[in-house]
Amino acid sequence: MRLDGKVALITGAASGIGRESAILFAREGARVVCVDLDAKGLDATLGLIPEGGEAIAVAADVAHAADCQRMVTAAEKHFGALHVLFNNAGIMDSRDDDAVTTEEAVFDRTFAVNVKGVFLGCKFGIPALRRSGGGSIINTASFVAVLGAATPQLAYTASKGAVLALSRELAVIHAREGIRVNALCPGPLRTELLMKFLNTEEKRQRRLRHVPMGRFGEAAEMARAALWLASDDSSFTTGSTFMVDGGITAAYVTPE
Ligand code: NAD
| pLDDT tens string 57-90 | 999 999 999 999 999 999 999 999 999 999 999 9
Instruction: State whether residue 126 is helix, strand or coil.
Output: helix
Computed from CA positions of residues 137, 138, 139, 144, in that sequence, does the dihedral angle turn out positive or negative? positive
In short, whether 38's Cβ falls inside 6 Å of ligand 1 is: yes
What pLDDT digit, counting tens, does each position of 201-256 carry? 998 998 899 999 999 999 999 999 999 999 999 999 999 999 999 999 999 988 88
251 belongs to a structural domain: no
In short, whether 189's Cβ falls inside 6 Å of ligand 1 is: yes
2 belongs to a structural domain: no
Q: Output the CA 171–ligand 1 centroid distance in Å.
A: 22
**Whole-number percent of the chain with pLDDT over 90:** 92
162 belongs to a structural domain: yes
- For 47, residues 6+ apart whose C-beta sits below 8 A from its C-beta are none
In short, whether 186's Cβ falls inside 6 Å of ligand 1 is: yes
For residue 225, how many C-alpha atoms fall within 13 Å in the half-sphere facing its CB?
25
| Cα–Cα distance, 146 to 164 (Å, whole number) | 9
CB 137, CB 85: distance < 8 Å: yes
Choose the residue to mutate in 9, 15, 19 for probing ligand 1, maximizing ligand atoms within 8 Å of C-beta.
15
Interhelix angle for 117-131 vs 154-174, to 10°?
20
In this structure, the residue with its CA closest to atom 32 of ligand 1 is: 90
How much is the pLDDT for 256?
Answer: 81
Q: pLDDT category, 32, cuts 50, 70, 90?
A: very high
In short, whether 71's Cβ falls inside 6 Å of ligand 1 is: no
| CATH of residue 225 | 3.40.50.720
93 belongs to a structural domain: yes
Q: For residue 5, what is the DSSP state?
A: T
Reading phi first (left if > 0) and then psi (alpha if -120 to 50, else beta), residue 243 is in beta
Ligand 1 atom with least separation from CA of 61: 19
| Cα–Cα distance, 78 to 6 (Å, whole number) | 13
What pLDDT digit, counting tens, does each position of 37-51 carry? 999 999 999 999 999
252 is an active site residue: no
Give the mean model confidence (pLDDT) for residues 139-143. Answer: 98
Instruction: State whether residue 12 is helix, strand or coil.
Output: coil
Catalytic one among 79, 124, 156, 197? 156
Ligand 1 atom with least separation from CA of 13: 9
Overall domain count for the chain: 1
Q: Output the CA 176–ligand 1 centroid distance in Å.
A: 30
In degrees, rounded to 5, the angle at the alpha carbon of residue 132 between the alpha carbons of residues 131 and 135 is: 115
Give the mean model confidence (pLDDT) for residues 1-23. Answer: 98
Q: For the chain, how are helix, strand and coil distributed in percent, rounded to 5?
A: 50, 15, 35
Phi then psi for 55, rounded to 5 degrees?
-155, 150
Give the mean model confidence (pLDDT) for residues 133-138. Answer: 98
The boundaries of the domain holding residue 238 are: 7-243
250 belongs to a structural domain: no
CB 166, CB 115: distance < 8 Å: yes
Return mean pLDDT, the chain: 97
Concatenating the DSSP letter of every residue in 83-109 gives -EEEE------TT---TTTS-HHHHHH
195 belongs to a structural domain: yes
How much is the pLDDT for 24?
Answer: 98
Q: Model pTM?
A: 0.98
How much is the pLDDT for 98?
Answer: 97
Q: pLDDT category, 118, cuts 50, 70, 90?
A: very high
Instruction: State whether residue 37 is helix, strand or coil.
Output: coil
Instruction: State whether residue 15 is helix, strand or coil.
Output: coil
